Structure 1
Amino acid sequence: MLIATAAATQHWWRDAVIYQVYVRSFLDSTGDGIGDLAGVRVGLPYLKKLGVDGIWLSPFYPSPQHDHGYDVADYTGVDPVYGDLAEFDLLVADAHRLGLKVLIDIVPNHCSSAHPWFREALAGGPDSPARSRFHFAPGRGADGALPPNNWRAMFGGPAWSRITEPDGEPGPWYLHLFTPEQPDLNWRDPAVGEHFDAVLRFWLDRGVDGFRIDVAAGLHKHPELPDSPDPEADERSRDSVNPLAWNQPEVHQVWRDWRAVCEEYTARDGLDRLLVGEVSVPTAREHAEYVRPDELHQAFFFHLLSARWDVDAFRRTISEAMRDIAGTGSTVTWVLNNHDQVRTVTRYAGEPSGEASGLGPARARAAALLMLALPGAAYVYQGEELGLPEVVDLPDEVLTDPIFRRTGSRRFVRDGCRVPLPWTGHASPFGFTSGAGAARPWLPQPEWFAEHATDRALADTRSFWHLYRDGLQLRRSLPQLGEGTLRWLETPPQVLAFVRGDGLVCAVNFGTEAAPAPVTGTPLLASGDCPPGVLPGSTAAWWISDPATTAPLFPPASSPKGPTA
């Protein structure tokens, strides 16, 4: 059953494909070895040719760069390393001329320790009202020498740091769920909400089409700041969260308020403004609470990203999303990667030899085609369209991720997916930066990046780039794709297959041995060689199936429950 109305289909975001630009690593226009907004502007025609609907820009605000911009010192400016507001305005104007939407990253959970608010809080002494904008609390134990509770930081170590008062005496502790350089804001202080209302309006007035919201489930903390029942959870996995510091019920009012601001702008000119949240919660049902009609428009569904390469895991994950998230009237927002995750080719390799054997790339191609066939929206991280693997052998001395600095462990280090993109040529800097006096890229590019350079990818019709481009073109031209219905087909073991709309069939073989194809005839698009009647291992394909002439070989299975199933 499908309940989408004609009005609903006019909302561009419901089935949009957005390309995530990690500005620092996209394209350098100045020769300093760091990507910038002018470089993004140069790359816009490339993204238009790829076929995406818009871009999401990682933080470019003034920042000490302890976490590469996610420690914001000024929410209404541009760090000089990335350009200035005039350059930002040119970028937005050029993107809009090309028909591309522009989303910017906003970081409301925490700011930089260099932010004027935090400096004021430190300088004001124990009675400073500025401290109410943050989570300051007295320590425990003798002379308050122990942290206020047992919470751990996501990036390692305690979630509390003690300050020294202006008179030199030891003071209270402040909360930071990531690093000491990123103090958490206290959203129970009205001044915080008022400030971000002004920040949203500042950027909306400059023409942005929406916001990607960092740590969208974490703004409110339990008011009593009690001990966590599992204090080590945050350090065991980046996907584990402290239930006392995340997903508190009060956070939903923040998104109602922000949605109202967006609706106010939409009422003026009829153009949708989008809120998409980074929502890390345990279940699809909890996820659905963030995309109710008066809250966020979208929230990244990370469960597909984290699902192991297994037919049952993927089917269960997709079914739960369709049942619980699409049931709100929103659409599911699918992702396979971002700037915090191991790149898909490497993640799916399965074992150290997987990339060399082709297993990782084959699975990554199949997963991309699967994602683009699912109902709803999708986000693609830069370089995924080039089939870039993770750079796993960066020397310790070049690593910049605060996770490494705080833990000494490379387990969750994110630099490997942030290495600057290769554009042209056979040696670093691969066109990322240019000029006789150009600096080296801020992270070193390996020699094998030459195999994935953009110029080579565009010239090879069998490349990842062409698979993404062809999938995006079909997604735009075929009425069965994007928003709409999904109906499962019965399949042999290791094969996942479903029907979209009236007759588009997508099938993925999660095994390594060939299986019968669910539809006779030649595929419309396939992630690898796919002869008629056969679906090779680690391959996905799309077919158009006319029920009157080329009915699927496999009968329908039970559909996931929900209004779009």
Structure 2
Amino acid sequence: MSIESRDEAAWWESAVIYEIALISFQDSNGDGKGDLAGLVSRIDYLRWLGVDAVWLTPIYKSPFRDLGYDISDYCAIDPAFGNLEDFDRLVKALHAEGIRLILDLVPNHTANDHEWFVESSSSRNSAKADWYIWADAAENGGPPNNWLSRFGGSGWEWCEARRQYYYHSFLTEQPDLNWRNPQVRGAIADVMRFWLDRGVDGFRVDASAVLIKDELLRDNPPNPEAEGKPPPQRQTPVFTDDRPETMICIEFMREVIDHYPGRLLCGEVQGKTDRIGHFYGNDRPRLHLPLNFALLDSRWDVLSLQATIDAYFNAIPEHAWPVWVVGGHDKQRIASKIGEPQMRAMAMLLMTLRGTPFLYMGDEIGRKRVPIPADRVRDPFEKLVPGYDLCRDPERAPMRWDDSAQGGFTTGEPWLPLERADEAVNIAAQQRDKRSLLALFRALMALRREHACLRQGDYKALRSCNDVLAFRRTDGRNEILVALNIAAEPRKWHWQGRGHLLMSTHLDRSPEPLPDASLLLRGNEGVIIAVEAR
């Protein structure tokens, strides 16, 4: 079904959203890098899997020092990926299959070769002199304050032409824009409109919590929990992160997107769970979906999981729509954290909790971190802050579509190495296996589409004990029960009522009536039960 025939206002509340790092998804021309044409060739897979939207990491023109998050032209496609005509073909092809497209929006910084920065850095009197964060040297000639870059070292870099320092939250080559300047806000709004007018269905806002820095440039205090942490985390970023004025910036972007009905604004946020609620906004709306990584960050035991879920639901406003993210280009693979057996329980949890599920390409086959030899590392995090296991390349390695040497990803040399074929999971093998993890993800997505209760129903927690995490979903007319054994050994689970088994994570049990009794859950097994009305 095409997008035109199902143009729901808040489509994201029922959607499953799938993140794609384009450079690692599918190569079409043998240069070892994924591209737009390659993605078009895999739309049949996305349709088969059942995802409702894809979110692409940056595809704009870029020197690609940081996976394209260093942008030199917001309104051009990087030649490695194709061109605007290729992009338009992608939008049309996705929409024809009922799949929406979300782009990464990077409003905090540009590349240092962006024409805006070239002009800004040329002179204190240039037309764009105040488009970035500039400051005079300290009395000793050093940086203006103690702010650190997330990639190590000072966050300030000297510019001889201006005889000033500029601030960079990330790489030296990624200068931060000055969001206090209305011209900057207007330029980003123009960028948004450029892509929205081409049919984009929304944006994921990168680094949305750090758009404004302290106007007085006050020093950040030391982090009392700094022991053992990498140098960039040895301060508490009070004056660089999550400033109150940042919410005004997000509200501004929301105003832009609200002129385009049915478009989504989601965003990367920082901080603990109890801080996530203010990113939704109240009288002035902000993000539709502030991305929530609580499941990925939680300890994977039943007591921790029930506490994590409860804390998140208590932290978001009553009107807010929840969101659950279990993977991403910046996050370590959840399969490497919880192990292959529990991936089935995780899949069922993700697809049955109230809220919008996000997964990252490869999560659906339980892909783990890919070992990257030292001489093949591309991630600047690992190069600049070594020794802390911060490298993100293991998550960014190309997709393995089959068991061939290059994984069906390319006919050339992949930009990052793949794991050995005889040690790897791959799409083709799991498509052939009717009980694979991939088959489970696909079945769960189909079940969500079939049961409105799983998409829009209320969430009611049950007391989790004996290693079984359990909860109810109800929409007033229908009730569905979910129980997940988080242990490797069998566990008895007691429930009241009568119902029918809809699905087991093992995909080896036919739908069957279940009497009011105890249910023996096998190790790592989860079940979904449709409860009969009394």
TM-score with structure 2 length normalisation?
Answer: 0.91
TM-superposed CA distance for 1:129, in Å, is 5.0
Q: Distance in 2 between matches of 1:239 and 1:328?
A: 35
Moved more, 531-540 or 71-80: 531-540
Which residue matches 1:542?
A: 528
Unaligned 5+ runs, structure 1:
1-7, 267-271, 349-359, 549-565
Equivalent residue runs for 1:71-470 within 5 Å: 71-124=70-123, 126-142=124-140, 144=141, 146-165=142-161, 171-230=163-222, 235=230, 242-266=237-261, 272-284=262-274, 286-292=275-281, 294-325=285-316, 327-348=317-338, 360-391=339-370, 393-409=371-387, 411-424=389-402, 426-434=403-411, 439-448=412-421, 451-470=424-443
Aligned-pair CA distance for 1:529: 7.1
CA deviation vs aligned residue, 1:79-102 (integer Å, no higher than 9, x gap): 000000000000000000000011
Which residue, out of 469, 473, 483, partners 1:500? 473
Q: Give the C-alpha shift of residue 121 in structure 1.
A: 1.9
Measure the CA separation in 2 of the matches of 1:404 and 1:109: 22
Counterpart position of 2:453: 480
In structure 1, what is the Cα distance between the partners aligned to 2:405 and 2:235?
37
Please name the residue that 2:4 is paired with: none
- Report which stretch shifted further, 293-302 or 83-92: 293-302
Q: Give the letter aligned to residue 81 of structure 1.
A: A
Deviation at 1:309, TM superposition (A): 0.5
Cα offset, 1:503, TM superposition: 2.2
Change (3 A) 1:488 1:523: same
TM-score (norm 1): 0.86
Q: Which amino acid aligns with 1:464?
A: L
2:19 corresponds in structure 1 to 20
Structure 1: distance between partners of 2:118 and 2:294: 38
Structure 2 contact 302–464 (Cα < 8 Å) conserved: no
Maintained 8 Å contact 2:18/2:53: yes
1:237-289: CA deviation from partner (whole Å, max 9, x where unpaired): 879961211111111122222222222122xxxxx0000011112233x2111
Deviation at 1:527, TM superposition (A): 2.3
- Rounded Cα–Cα distance in structure 1 between residues aligned with 2:295 and 2:190: 35
- Cα distance change on mapping 1:9 and 1:82 into 2, 3 Å: closer
Contact 1:58–1:105 (CA under 8 A) maintained in structure 2: yes
Which deviations, in whole Å up to 9, do the C-alpha atoms of 1:491-513 show, x marking residues without a partner? 43322100111321111222333
Which residue is equivalent to 2:46? 47
C-alpha separation in 1, matches of 2:268 and 2:204:
7
Give the letter for the 2:531 counterpart.
S
How far apart are 1:343 and its partner, in Å? 0.8
Aligned 8 A contact 2:354 2:459 in 1: yes
In the TM superposition, residue 410 of structure 1 has moved relative to its aligned partner by 5.5
In structure 2, stretches of 5+ residues that fail to align are 1-6
Q: Which amino acid aligns with 1:275?
A: L
Alpha-carbon shift at residue 331 of structure 1 (Å): 0.9
**Match for 2:376: what amino acid?**
V
Instruction: Render the CA deviation track for 1:16-52: whole Å, top value 9, x for unaligned.
Output: 1111011000000011000001111111110011011
Between the aligned partners of 2:151 and 2:50, the Cα distance in structure 1 is 36
The one-letter code of the counterpart of 1:254 is C
**C-alpha deviation, 1:344, in angstroms:** 1.1
**Deviation for aligned residue 1:485:** 0.6
**In 1: Cα distance, 2:501 partner to 2:122 partner:** 67
Query: Contact 2:435/2:507 (CA < 8 Å) preserved in 1?
Result: no
Instruction: Work out whether residues 335 and 366 of structure 2, in 8 Å CA contact, stay in contact via their aligned partners in 1.
Output: yes
Aligned residues: 510
* Structure 1 match to 2:491: 515
Change in Cα spacing, 1:526 to 1:243, as seen in structure 2 (3 Å) is: farther
After TM superposition, the structure 1 stretch with the greater mean CA deviation from structure 2, 9-18 or 52-61, is 9-18
Q: CA RMSD in A?
A: 2.2
> Contact 1:225 / 1:244 at 8 angstroms: preserved in 2?
yes
The CA distance in 1 between the partners of 2:99 and 2:236, in whole Å, is 34
Name the CA distance, whole Å, in 2 between partners of 1:452 and 1:390. 12
- Counterpart residue type for residue 355 of structure 2: G
1:321-377 alpha-carbon deviations (Å, 9 max, x no partner): 22232x3412111011111111111011xxxxxxxxxxx011122112101101110
